[in-house]
């Protein structure tokens, strides 16, 4: 931890887009109106963090910047207009930054500058992320956590809390289509980081889940992981075979006599026009709902138009989640209805120092499907 008497801190920086990262000494940010400065206790590393900064994903973002992702921190200082947040509070930093006067302009902190001139302008002002000992954040992106409940009564550690930042993504999509207790939802693909998170969330929300995936080992692990928390018929699995008729038949068999109410899609870019996408849509009941949250960048994704129109299907895209979704999610966790870390059967989060960023990025990529989180701990020696 940086001494409060010093004025500099360590930060993982990138000076030009896609160039190598470097740990540097930079000035500790100061709190201004509309902002808070957080001491970063643990910052998440997602499975494709390396691909963002080496240019593999071709994400647009401004440089120079301090790299980063969502984080758990403690408030170091707040701007003079803060009325709720106070120094010393344990908080979650949400990377989904929206314009205060037009929420359609949005970017992800230190990851992607968004898709409008307004979002790019906004990122210029909030360029620096959480792979540092301190980060300056918009007040709207800082959410106070019930430390006594989470770390006292529920026994979580700081790295455990980071899994909330991963689960928030599918949460945004599932509540956007109003998934309700007792309904049946197809999650596909269900074997990646966000897919497994969607399965966990849908179960916690009271739904029955049909998880589709190519990796039979991960599907079996999902069933085993949740077998002690839920009855066996709450989570069913269907393999992705690449054969449309086989997948539709398997979905119908898994659903049994009950209709399939919703489909949560989290397809990667490589899965454009995959068979499971059509199979899931074709298996929905009349007036079923579809949430699109995947990474398909093609503008030519095939939709079974006739089916969507005649069955009154609702198809909704969702990038991340809305600000008002976060407190609802936190209440679910703090109530104990959604477990984190070891309580949810997950392995301990793997921690790395800032200087070990290469190892952290590689580890996160290699463990994308096994549910183990990865984080950078800036104060870690």
pLDDT higher than 90, residue 235: yes
Which residue from 230, 217, 200, 137 is spatially nearest to 341, judged by alpha carbons? 200
Question: What pLDDT score does 372 carry?
Answer: 72
Work out the average pLDDT over 21-50.
Answer: 97
Contact 94, 144 (CB under 8 A): no
Instruction: Name the residue range of residue 241's domain.
Output: 167-317
Residue 337 lies in a domain: no
Contact 201, 170 (CB under 8 A): yes
Predicted confidence band of residue 18 (pLDDT cuts 50, 70, 90): very high
What total of structural domains would you count in the chain?
2
**Is there a single domain that holds both residue 182 and residue 141?**
no
pLDDT higher than 70, residue 330: yes
Domain containing residue 88: CATH number: 3.90.180.10
pLDDT higher than 90, residue 299: no
**Is there a single domain that holds both residue 108 and residue 188?**
no
**Is there a single domain that holds both residue 24 and residue 146?**
yes
- How far CA 98 is from CA of 84, 94, 176, 282, in Å, comes to 20, 11, 18, 35
**Is there a single domain that holds both residue 41 and residue 114?**
yes
pLDDT higher than 80, residue 74: yes
**Is there a single domain that holds both residue 53 and residue 117?**
yes
pLDDT digits 0-9 by tens, 364-377: 999 876 667 899 99
Single pTM value for the model: 0.93
What is the rounded CA–CA span in Å between residue 106 and residue 99? 6
Domain containing residue 184: CATH number: 3.40.50.720
- Percent helix, strand, coil in the chain, to 5, is 35, 25, 45
**Is there a single domain that holds both residue 66 and residue 151?**
yes
**Is there a single domain that holds both residue 107 and residue 51?**
yes
**Is there a single domain that holds both residue 173 and residue 119?**
no
**Is there a single domain that holds both residue 16 and residue 157?**
yes
Work out the average pLDDT over 172-189.
Answer: 98
pLDDT digits 0-9 by tens, 194-222: 999 999 999 999 999 999 999 999 899 99
pLDDT digits 0-9 by tens, 334-367: 999 999 988 887 888 999 999 999 999 999 999 8
Residue 180 lies in a domain: yes
Percentage of the chain lying above the pLDDT 90 cut: 88
Residue 335 lies in a domain: no
> Which three-class secondary structure state does DSSP give residue 290?
strand
**Is there a single domain that holds both residue 30 and residue 150?**
yes
Work out the average pLDDT over 72-84.
Answer: 97
Question: What pLDDT score does 343 carry?
Answer: 82
**Is there a single domain that holds both residue 313 and residue 263?**
yes
**Is there a single domain that holds both residue 299 and residue 276?**
yes
């Amino acid at each position: 931890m940086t001494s409060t008497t010093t004025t500099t801190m360590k930060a993982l920086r990138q000076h030009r887009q896609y160039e190598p990262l470097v740990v540097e000494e930079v000035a500790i940010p100061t709190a201004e109106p509309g902002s808070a400065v957080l001491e970063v206790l643990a910052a998440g590393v997602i499975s494709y963090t390396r691909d963002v900064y080496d240019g593999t994903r071709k994400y647009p973002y401004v440089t120079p910047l301090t790299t980063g992702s969502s984080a758990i921190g403690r408030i170091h200082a707040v701007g003079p207009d803060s009325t709720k947040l106070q120094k010393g509070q344990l908080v979650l930093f949400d990377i989904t930054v929206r314009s205060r006067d037009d929420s359609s302009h949005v970017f992800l902190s230190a990851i992607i500058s968004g898709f409008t001139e307004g979002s790019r302008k906004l990122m210029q002002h909030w360029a620096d992320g959480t792979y540092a000992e301190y980060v300056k954040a918009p007040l709207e992106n800082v959410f106070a956590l019930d430390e006594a409940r989470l770390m006292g009564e529920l026994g979580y550690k700081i790295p455990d809390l980071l899994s909330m930042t991963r689960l928030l993504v599918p949460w945004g999509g599932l509540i956007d289509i109003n998934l309700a207790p007792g309904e049946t939802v197809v999650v596909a693909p269900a074997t990646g980081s966000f897919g497994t998170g969607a399965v966990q969330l849908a179960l916690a929300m009271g739904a029955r889940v049909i998880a589709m995936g190519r990796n039979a080992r991960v599907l079996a692990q999902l069933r085993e992981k949740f077998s002690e928390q839920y009855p066996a018929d709450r989570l069913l699995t269907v393999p992705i075979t690449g054969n449309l008729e086989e997948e539709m038949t398997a979905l119908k068999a898994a659903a049994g006599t009950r209709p399939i109410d919703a489909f949560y899609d989290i397809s990667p870019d490589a899965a454009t026009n995959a068979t499971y996408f059509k199979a899931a849509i074709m298996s929905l009941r009349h007036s079923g709902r579809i949430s699109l949250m995947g990474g398909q960048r093609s503008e030519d994704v095939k939709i079974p138009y006739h089916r969507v129109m005649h069955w009154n299907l609702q198809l909704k895209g969702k990038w991340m989640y809305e600000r008002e979704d976060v407190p609802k999610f936190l209440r679910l966790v703090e109530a104990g209805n959604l477990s984190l870390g070891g309580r949810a059967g997950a392995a301990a989060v793997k921690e790395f120092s800032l200087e070990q960023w290469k190892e952290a990025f590689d580890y996160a990529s290699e463990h994308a499907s096994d549910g183990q989180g990865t984080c950078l701990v800036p104060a870690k020696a």
